[in-house]
Structure 1
Amino acid sequence: MKKLLILLLAWTCAGPALARPLLVAAASDLGYCIDELVAAYRKTAPEVAPKVSLGASGNFFAQIRNGAPFEVFLSADMDYPRQLGKLGVADGATLTPYAIGHIALWSLDPQVDPARGLAALVADARVKRVAIANPITAPYGRAAKAALLRAGLWDQVQPKLVVGENIAQTAQFVQTGNAQLGIVSFATLHASKLKALGRHALVPTDGLPPIEQGAIVTGAGAGNPHAAGFVRFLASREARAILVRNGFGVPAGAAE
């Protein structure tokens, strides 16, 4: 009996350590709500321990393509996960749109008014630096470039650009004063530490492709049922409520 009690005590103490890990690569724009999403999922699956890495979607795409062991990829677009499915390193059947992003002009400079729109990037002489995410690797940077091209301002703004590796670093450039204006994700401005800072205005995206964000189970996650479970969870009412509360839109269709 004593040995049994010792074994039971050891098993109880080791319980949390035995939680099955789930390696998630998530776009930086999710940085301010991913913990809430993970906590909500764990209520339905306490036996899993998601471990989230945040970064630029393009960088994660390259890493997963080259064998990184991430089991779920939450991209800031649909194209990167779709490509992984075509390459055979992710399960294309699990590709799911989970959020719609928006871009916004944001400034902490009281003399710079984002409500003037993109034209202020060139018309306002006080704007010396403009922060955007890298258009090559970050979908929000790609969206910012597309908006500037549509407005006919890309060539004029380029000399002022300060380029962040991802949307989080782009916001940091504005926070630290290294840029008077930034084109950031609207969701970033919903973070508790940023909500009351500066002023912002949504960038009109009429005629531009929506920033549709996609999740997919990678090849590494094929044997982990929680990989598919987490992707399915993102379509739930609870997950969608979290995303909307944090500045995202959600895809059309009824939530589960």
Structure 2
Amino acid sequence: MIRSSVLFALLVSTGMVHAGDVQVAVAANFAAPMKEIAARFEQDSGHKVLFSVGSTGKFYAQIKNGAPFDILLAADDETPARLEKEGATLPHSRFTYAIGKLVLWSAQPGVVDDRGEVLKQATFAHLSIANPKLAPYGAAAVETLQKLSLYQALESKLVVGESIAQAQQFVASGSAQLGFVAMSQVYEGGKLKSGSAWVVPAGLYAPIRQDAVALAKGKGNPAVAALLKYMQGDKVKAILRSYGYAL
């Protein structure tokens, strides 16, 4: 967990004097909340947020190859910890900003029941998931199917997206009748935006702890310290709850 006073002393010793830019790598499941957070942060701080959305696994590779990101908002806690161990982050900057929830979703009403029994019926042609090797939500989907003893039976029906965003798009476009997505992609204000869904019980997959970390490139950038502090404030917590994240 973060030690705020230590983090901000390390990042900037003089406080925020001039507005600046902060480049953020954002896990695909967090795209919608981040858009809202960035707008509010810019209004409140004067800093500018430039963010890219993608899979956590791909961001790791890009960061190791010198991608110019200041902050990583990952979809897991393992990748930021790995970068920290490898010396690619600023000391004491890692913290859990949200805990994600997995949802089985269909763009069509009435397809997914409130207990996920549709998986056992297997009357669908395709089931969308994110790449479990790159996306933590994909790994959670596989774990869920294994816990339900359905993975082998449904493996041939799986359509694998590069990220959770692509997995959701497969369902939205009708390429797959249903799929495992992040709750934040299909819920807003505590309500399902469209279609039908089953919120997967937390006991069926390991907690999706999503960690933030300041990367080495962000050293000395006051916008980095300001955004990480903002991420822990009440305004952001309210946004996260509205998208279904646990804190």
The aligned counterpart of 2:11 is: none
Q: Could you tell me how far apart the structure 2 residues matched to 1:216 and 1:109 are? A: 37
The aligned counterpart of 1:88 is: 87
The aligned counterpart of 2:15 is: none
TM-score by length of 1: 0.84
Letter in 1 for 2:118: A
Q: Which has the larger radius of gyration?
A: 1
Letter in 2 for 1:124: A
Unpaired segments ≥5 residues, structure 2: 1-17
Letter in 2 for 1:204: P
1:216 to 196, 213, 219: 213
Q: Could you tell me how far apart the structure 1 residues matched to 2:151 and 2:110 are? A: 23
Q: CA RMSD in A?
A: 1.9
- What do the CA deviations read for 1:19-45 (whole angstroms, capped 9, x no partner)? 522110000111112121112222332
1:121 partner SS? helix
The aligned counterpart of 2:5 is: none
Partners of 1:133 and 1:170 within 8 A in 2: yes
Partners of 2:188 and 2:244 within 8 A in 1: no
Aligned length: 229
Letter in 2 for 1:149: Q
Q: Could you tell me how far apart the structure 1 residues matched to 2:83 and 2:53 are? A: 18
Of structures 1 and 2, the one with the larger relative CO (CA 8 A, separation 6+) is 2
Q: Could you tell me how far apart the structure 2 residues matched to 1:28 and 1:50 are? A: 16
Is the counterpart of residue 49 in structure 1 residue 58 in structure 2?
Answer: no
Partners of 2:110 and 2:195 within 8 A in 1: no
Residues 153 and 105 of structure 1: is their aligned pair in 2 closer, same or farther, counting only changes over 3 Å?
A: same
Q: Could you tell me how far apart the structure 2 residues matched to 1:130 and 1:154 are? A: 11
The percent of aligned pairs where both chains have the same amino acid is 36
TM-score by length of 2: 0.87
The aligned counterpart of 1:121 is: 119
The aligned counterpart of 2:234 is: 237
Query: How far is the alpha carbon of 1:249 from its aligned partner?
Result: 1.1
Partners of 1:82 and 1:92 within 8 A in 2: no
Letter in 1 for 2:147: R
Residues 143 and 207 of structure 1: is their aligned pair in 2 closer, same or farther, counting only changes over 3 Å?
A: closer
Residues 23 and 241 of structure 1: is their aligned pair in 2 closer, same or farther, counting only changes over 3 Å?
A: same
Alignment of 1:1-256 (within 5 A): 20-46=20-46, 48-110=47-109, 112-117=111-116, 119-125=117-123, 127-190=124-187, 195-206=192-203, 208-250=205-247
Partners of 2:23 and 2:70 within 8 A in 1: yes
Letter in 2 for 1:99: A
The aligned counterpart of 2:9 is: none
- What do the CA deviations read for 1:139-191 (whole angstroms, capped 9, x no partner)? 11111111111111112211101111111111110111111111100110125
Unpaired segments ≥5 residues, structure 1: 1-17, 251-256
